[in-house]
Structure 1
Amino acid sequence: MKKITLLGLMAALPINTLAAETLATPNLDEVVVTASRTSQSTKTVTGDITVIDSEEINRLQGGSLADLLRLQPGVQSYSNGGMGTSSNITLRGTNDNQLIVLVDGVRINSGTTGTTAFENIPLALIDRIEILRSPASSLYGSDAIGGVIQIFTKRGSGNKTHIYGTVGAGSYDTYTGNAGIDTTYKALKLGAQISSYDTRGISAKKHPPLNVDKDRDGYQNFSGSAYANLEFAPGHTLGLNYLESDGRSEYDNGYVGNHQNRYQQGYGVTLKNALTERWKSTLQYNNGRDQSYTVSAATGATANSNIETEQHQISWQHDYQLSNGTIMFAYDRLEQDVLTKTIGRQTLDRGRSNDAFVLGYTGNFDNHSAQLSLREDHNSQFGNYTTGGLGYGYALTPAWRVTAQYGSSFRAPTFNQLYAVNFGNPNLAAEKADNLEASLRYQGEALQAKVTLFDNHIRNFIQTLTSGCPVGFPNCAVNAGKIEIQGVTFESSLVLNESWLLSGNLTVQSPRVDGTDNLLVRRAQRYGNLVLQYKTGDWNWTTELTASSQRYNDAANRLALGGYALLNSTLGYQLNQNWRLQARANNILDKDYVLAAVNSTVDYNTMGANVFFSLNYDMH
């Protein structure tokens, strides 16, 4: 009861005893690169894009990347238990494997599952995130049916040495720490950071059938990133970047000691050359590695399995600046290899490659903005695919703008969907999609608002069935036919005065299978967020309300997962120029809710009311 009382006080705490300090208003003209693969103002982007800045990331210290993403428009998440368990992200009702995730340009989707281990990427390493919600295969190739999430790790700015770090502790015996440094030596800029996370966690399953599964399932993660950029001549730079994350999560499966190790590694080399005043070349080589090592502990025996995916990526992009826009031409190559090791035996199971040529244009003239993209992919397994995108925007007034966009996309089945034992189907066809969307936007000094309508038609949609599978297959992958996802997203932010900012978003959608009219698994038809921020003097306070309607845990729509609403709050105090103290409370009302279920009797657990305290140091 005392804990709930403390959390409630944090949520209701409006501090107004100090002299007011102006609250930072939303940036109306940010520069993004994900929407077109070239630098572009958010005011002229025709696609549906969101930027998450470092301030918003810092508010969720002690939380996960999935917690942060589900506060954004059109984003849903679900997990198989507490911290460290598998976290899945969906954009506008699409599948979690119909999404490309980049970290500093490195593709980190698993080649076996097609999903991304969001649970293994700590917020402490992240400086900024760009979310593109719309098909983007004409820019990025296979998998971008739902969109692209691009994560940028922390980088120093300016020529001063920057040292920073955080220590934190919270509920469920959770302890974190991270430290980093950025510095400059003549024409060389470099930096590095490390992050550690340790929690005893909660039981992954709620009401499990075995007493042994009622134990707490802990999670440990150790991660680091580094970069270096050398400007060896004016307009010519060579950059290196590296990311590594090693996580160990325990899970329930009838025996004490069951755990999964998930290892991610990504590194890249980038050469940028200003060939002329208008013509720039960017040559990149990136390598992404994803390894999953599972240990099932049984009486007198241990069965281990090791699955590893490597993705080699080469991209050579040319940008030519025109008087009213930019022409982009690129060549991309992606090589995917899957390695399996079971009890000492190691084999290269599968591999494939994809070559592509991309042509794009972004332009602005008078009140008009336009974006065009065309891509030809040749996949060594599935042949040729041509995808395109066309976007147009018109400024009705300096504050009002309308946009319309079309995009086609495709996704080659993952290696698991094709070849996994007692699951895979080598006869699967690639998914194809066509998306139409339109938006009305208002950008004033105090008020920003956007309404986006979307209609995404997906053909050859690949779905996991639990019945009607071949003999010996507990579940199987099949092309389920056509999917139509219609919906609308509302977003707005309002500066109430110098101290108060109110923002929110709401998504209403209908992601259904045409043949059965059933909703897709674990997709809500209505979900959204409301955020209230307050700042005065050295204090700042934020409260978030997150809500979702009912979802179904199965393709037949027989197992319903109830709707829920969560209340979270953050309170921060700037001790001095370098030190900051912050407290965060999650699920303040101690809501008992479910994001995913094992079956009709066993649910995956979620965390109750909890708190997290952190002390931050930042010296420029």
Structure 2
Amino acid sequence: MKKITVAGLAGLLSAVPAYAHDSIYSDDVVVTANRIPQPREAVLADVSVITGEEIARSGQSSLVEVLRTLPGVEIESNGGLGMASAVHLRGTSSQSVVVLVDGLRVGSATLGTTAFEQISPDQVERIEVVRGPASSLYGADAVGGVIQIFTKHGESKPVASVSFGYGSYNTRKATASLSGAIGDTRASLNISTLNTDGISSLRNQTERAADHDAYRNESISASIDHKIVDGHEIGLQIYDSFNHAQFDDDSLFSSHQYMTQRGISLTSRNQITTIWHSTLRVGEGEDALKSFGSSFGENIIRTYQRQYLWQNDVQLPLGTLTLAYDRLEQHVVSLTEFAKTHRNDNGWLASYLLDEGPHSFQFSMRRDDNSQFGQHTTGNIAYGYRFNQFWKVSGSYGTAFRAPTFADLYWPFQDFGPSYGTYQGNPNLKPETSRNREVSLTYDQGHHRVTATAYHNEVNNLLVCCQGLFHDFPTNVGSATINGVTLAYEGWFDRYHLRANSDFQSPKDDETGHLLSRRSRAHGAIYLGQTWDKLELGTEVVSSGARYDDAANTRRLGGYTLVNFTGKYELSPEWSLEGRINNVFDKYYTLATFYGTPYSTPGANLFVGLRWQSK
């Protein structure tokens, strides 16, 4: 795979004709990489962006399926659509990524993960993925990187859209959105619903586990922004997702769960002087889980994350200086009695960004003071140099840390019976820390862009939730080293659009030499889109090497390659017919197991939809 990918990229470089140097990203602006708007072609971090148009074209009903096609991203899933999923960035753990929705942290402070499966792709306008350490900008947990999801906002031109569709497993989906501006006020409203009979979450032959585990999602997002006077704007953003999922009755999981994920924030953006821009935001994210089951009865866990931000961006004669203060207040409400249910974090950061001539420079430093585990200082420094109009080389060094979760620290003693043993939290855990070095080479010819990034990430005080013991508890288990190379290409040939990426990595436990669980040595994706007048066709290939389900590397998960097809036909300027076939060759594969019993993955499946959008 590696030889084919490298040879293919080299062939593309030699075969494509020369174009004017206007990059395919010239009009693209990235916010997440440095917390300020920045031209994407000037960003030094390893960044991917997927737009709302690309998300719609993909036809996916799950945000996890959208993310798995991006460089550096691996996924795991506990069953079909709507079941618990997780994302790994650059071989790090699923708790080692900060996830933001419109600038607000979302996710569970008890588990340390974000329920991507609950976020409807139909609510999303844009996704930015920053790979590499980012704690110096975003604080705890950004060891692998940051994923920021932007929901749909209103623009000046009024736009309305409606869609509905039907697919395999009796999957039904409907969406509606309305956005626009009246005078100095912009607003949007987006509603989506998804219902599916689903597949069995566990793949075994018992009568109860062979059923269909249904899932329902109802999501709404809304925003309103008002310009008070030139340079001064206030905005309100709301996101709310309600989900209901069923599970196999003979698993440890409850027979069904109600899940809620919501966020609300109020933001004031102010141009104080010609060189000083201030952003003030207050908001709260909530992650709630209510579960019912014959084995363990009823349980409720809610995480509240109240957040305050004051960021000041100052334009200097050379470069931009950013000074910011973040405060995060986490609160857990649960029928499970945790020893502690509150903690606060205060973060102060300074960042400097320069892009002058052939030189680019970025420096950031942050100090976090946490009421639970003390103080941590992290930093990042990066430099880039453009040899000519096509070639750029850059390098960086950064540190990051991951905080133990409430469940890691304070989960009360629980006896799961003679078959599964006991589990209890560990209040003596230390934060996980990392040091990352990387170098990147970029070739941008205008219509074709190739990047190669090599990284070396050393992780100390590695946090693991389980050790495979009968009387289990989380612990710090030494260190891990993750070496890797990411290759990515995007370009256009006449009416063809090609995206390809490959990751070759070695995420290993330093003490045992074993691969970190559920992470492969190689994975990648290819997308080829073709356009003929009113018809668009896409072919997508997603591939991963073998992984292990456990830290001891005793349960092997085989590699897999999935082939998907997408299509769109424009019936009229307003109406379009869209379709998608996933796993065309009905590949049998496993992403995770439950004590050795595989979680199911969907076989070949079809979804067809009809969309109307005003012009």
Judge conservation of contact 1:493–1:504 (CA < 8 Å) in 2. Answer: yes
Preserved contact between residue 340 and residue 349 of structure 1 (Cα < 8 Å): no
How far, CA to CA, are the matches of 1:292 and 1:137 in structure 2?
28
Aligned length: 583
| 1:154 pairs with one of 149, 152, 155 | 152
Pairwise CA distance, 1:406: 0.9
Structure 2 counterpart of 1:203? 200
Pick aligned residue for 1:241 from 203, 226, 237:
237
Residue 602 of structure 2 is aligned to residue 607 of structure 1: yes
Letter in 2 for 1:149: I
Q: 1:429 maps to which residue?
A: 430
Deviations 1:32-84 (A, max 9, x none): 01000011111111110101012220123242100000000000001000011
Distance in 1 (CA, whole Å) between partners of 2:581 and 2:159 is: 29
- Measure how far apart 1:365 and its partner are: 1.1
Distance in 2 (CA, whole Å) between partners of 1:533 and 1:324 is: 42
Paired with 1:230 and 1:543, the residues of 2 have a C-alpha distance of 42
Partner of 1:216: helix, strand, or coil?
coil
1:548 to 544, 550, 571: 544
Q: Secondary structure at the match of 1:56?
A: helix
The amino acid of 1:254's aligned partner reads D
Counting only pairs closer than 5 Å after superposition, residues 13-412 of structure 1 correspond to structure 2 as: 26-158=24-156, 160-208=157-205, 210-254=206-250, 258-297=255-294, 303-341=297-335, 349-412=340-403
* TM-score of the pair, normalised by structure 2: 0.93
Q: Distance in 1 between matches of 2:323 and 2:573?
A: 46
Amino acid at match of 1:361: Y
Shift in Å, 1:25: 9.0
Alignment check: 8 A CA contact 2:107 2:286 kept: no
Counting only pairs closer than 5 Å after superposition, residues 465-544 of structure 1 correspond to structure 2 as 465-468=466-469, 473=471, 475-496=472-493, 498-544=494-540
Q: Is the 8 A contact 1:62 1:176 kept in 2?
A: no
Write the distance in 2 (CA, Å) between the matches of 1:595 and 1:347: 31
Asked whether the equivalents of residues 59 and 566 of structure 2 are also in contact (C-alpha less than 8 Å), the reply is no
Q: Which secondary structure state, in structure 2, belongs to the residue aligned with residue 289 of structure 1?
A: strand
How far apart in 2 are the matches of 1:396 and 1:324? 21
Report the alpha carbon displacement of residue 382 of structure 1 after superposing the two structures with TM: 1.1
Cα deviation, 1:86-105, whole Å, max 9, x if unaligned, reads: 01000000000011000011
Query: In the TM superposition, what is the alpha-carbon distance from 1:617 to its structure 2 partner?
Result: 1.1
Amino acid at match of 2:193: S
Question: Secondary structure at 1:253's aligned position in 2?
Answer: coil
**Hey, what's the Cα distance between the residues in 2 that align with 1:552 and 1:110?**
25
1:14 match: none
Instruction: Give 1:257 deviation, angstroms.
Output: 8.2
CA RMSD of aligned residues (A): 1.6
Report SS of the residue matched to 1:43.
Answer: helix
The one-character-per-residue Cα deviations of 1:572-595 (angstroms, maximum 9, x if unpaired) are 011111111111000000101111
Distance 2:543 2:273 in 1: 52
The alpha-carbon deviation at position 341 of structure 1 amounts to: 2.4
The Cα of 1:419 is off from its aligned counterpart by 1.0
* Aligned twin of 1:449: 450
Q: Any conservation in 1 of the 2:159–2:613 contact (CA below 8 Å)?
A: yes
Partner Cα separation in structure 2 for residue 416 and residue 165 of structure 1: 41
CA positional deviation for 1:373: 0.3
Cα deviation per residue 1:356-407 (whole Å; 9 max; x = unaligned)? Answer: 1110011111100011101011011111111101010000111100000111
2:538 and 2:152 map into 1 onto residues whose CA distance is: 23
Whether the aligned pair in 1 keeps the contact of 2:384 and 2:392 (CA below 8 Å) is yes
**What is the rounded CA distance, in whole Å, between the counterparts of 1:532 and 1:183 in structure 2?**
33
Contact preservation (8 Å) 1:103, 1:151:
yes
Secondary structure, counterpart of 2:369 in structure 1: strand
**Equivalents in 2 of 1:89, 1:261: separation in Å?**
22
1:465/1:555 contact within 8 Å kept? no
Aligned mates of 2:77, 2:298 — CA distance in 1:
23
- Native 8 Å contact 2:562 2:583 kept in 1: yes
1:446 is displaced (CA, Å) by 2.8
Q: 1:339·1:348 contact (CA, 8 Å) conserved in 2?
A: no
- Structure 1: distance between partners of 2:400 and 2:178: 40
The residue type paired with residue 314 of structure 2 is: Y
Give the aligned partner of residue 13 of structure 2: none
Structure 1, 52-61 or 447-456: larger mean CA deviation: 52-61
The question of 1:580 aligning with 2:573 is answered no
- Aligned residue identity for 2:319: G
> Counterparts of 2:263 and 2:254 in 1: how far apart (Å)?
29
Does the CA-based 8 Å contact 1:570-1:585 persist in structure 2? yes
- The residue type paired with residue 438 of structure 1 is V
SS at match of 1:67: helix
**CA–CA distance in structure 2, aligned partners of residues 437 and 204 of structure 1:** 39
How far off is 1:467 after superposition? 3.3
3-state SS in 2 of match to 1:591? coil
Alignment identity in percent?
A: 39
Residue identity opposite 1:386 in structure 2 = T
What is the CA distance between 1:28 and its match in structure 2?
4.0
Tell me by how many angstroms 1:494 deviates.
3.2
- Alpha-carbon distance in 1 for matches of 2:606, 2:383: 46
Give 1:348 deviation, angstroms: 9.1
Distance (Å, rounded) in 2 between the aligned partners of 1:384 and 1:307: 28
Contact 1:454–1:488 (CA<8 Å) still a contact in 2? yes
Displacement of 1:155 in angstroms is: 1.3
Equivalent position SS for 1:522? coil
Partner of 2:321: helix, strand, or coil? strand
Which ranges in structure 2 are unaligned for 5 or more consecutive residues? 1-21, 413-422
CA contact (8 A) 2:135 2:400 kept: yes
Q: What TM-score do the two structures reach when normalised by structure 1?
A: 0.92
Q: Give the residue type in structure 1 aligned to 2:376.
A: Y
Shift of 1:109: 2.1
Counterpart Cα distance in 2 of 1:164 and 1:263:
25
What CA distance in whole angstroms lies between the structure 2 residues aligned with 1:100 and 1:39?
Answer: 19
Change (3 A) 1:382 1:257: closer
One-letter amino acid of the structure 1 residue matched with residue 187 of structure 2: L
Which string of whole-angstrom CA distances, capped at 9 and with x for unpartnered residues, describes residues 546-594 of structure 1? 1100000010001100000000010101111111111100000010111
